[in-house]
Amino acid sequence: MTVMPHKALILARKELYSYAYAPAFYGTAVFFLLFTSIWLLYIQRFFALDSASFRGYFAAFPLAFILVIPVLTMKSWAEERKLGSVELLLTMPFSEWDLVLGKFISSFAVLAVLLLLTIPMPLSILPLGDFDPGVIAGEYAGALLLGSSAVSLGLLLSSLSKNQAGAFLGSAVVLLVTTMIHQLGLSLSLPPPLSDLVNFISLSFHFESFSRGLIDSRDLAFFILSTVLFLFLNTRVILYRKWR
């Protein structure tokens, strides 16, 4: 079916209003900012390292996303099913892509706001050393791409869940596995074919080049294609429920 961008934006605006009045959003924002700041200043001991690099700061983002992304996406479809409003959405003149993109745009926009809120931390430290702004920009680009893939995955799992709790747990477990499986593969010294497979499905592995300020076309392609794939699968789930 044809995608109508203005329809997706209308749905996204509706979803954004719901985030604005959701206490969970503000709690998530506080958690994200505190977690990343504590990780940099106390766990990574940034000032003791005497290094002009924020790599340790951005290394915390994939870990924080394990809990942040499920909170942002858990109600997107699961709550619609619980309230019965999903049937109303499916009868409206929106294509499956309109509905899925509307949900995605709103969740991704909220995540982008959370990332914007972290900018004061690097800005406050920049005068203390010879930091490379290009590297920091690349690290933020990687965080956005990682978040895009994780959000689309969370939305897919929300569409498969019957309630918010199931959507949260499912998304958190899958993101935990896809984030930590790369480290597990390193510790087990897997043979090359299996190690390559583990690296390929690991979100954190594809984020590593961005965390160093490098933009690898392969990792860029992975995040874009995985986002499109998860959104496509989401439309198939919605189409199945529409004609079930």
Per-residue model confidence as pLDDT tens digits over 73-109: 988 877 777 666 666 677 777 788 888 999 999 999 9
The CA distance from 216 to 191, in Å, is 24
Provide the mean pLDDT of the chain.
Answer: 84
pLDDT at 242: 64
Q: What is the pTM of this model?
A: 0.89
pLDDT at 35: 93
End-to-end, the C-alpha distance of the chain in Å comes to 18
How far is CA 45 from each of CA 41, 112, 208, rounded to the nearest angstrom? 5, 26, 20
pLDDT at 200: 86
Do 234 and 159 contact (CB within 8 A), yes or no? yes
Q: How many domains does the chain contain in total? A: 1
Do 138 and 54 contact (CB within 8 A), yes or no? no
Do 209 and 142 contact (CB within 8 A), yes or no? yes
User: What's the CA dihedral at 123, 127, 130, 136 to 10 degrees?
Assistant: 0
User: What's the CA dihedral at 49, 216, 207, 202 to 10 degrees?
Assistant: -130
Neighbours of 163 (CB within 10 A): 14
Low-confidence ranges of the chain (pLDDT < 70): 1-5, 47-50, 52, 82-88, 185-187, 190, 241-244
pLDDT at 71: 93
Pair of tokens at residue 191: 């043979």
pLDDT at 112: 95
Neighbours of 20 (CB within 10 A): 10
pLDDT at 50: 67
Q: Supply the range of the domain harboring residue 28.
A: 5-243
Q: Residue 130 half-sphere exposure, CB side, CA atoms within 13 Å?
A: 0
How far is CA 110 from each of CA 76, 102, 147, 218, rounded to the nearest angstrom? 13, 13, 11, 26
Q: Is 226 helix (H, G, I), strand (E, B) or coil?
A: helix
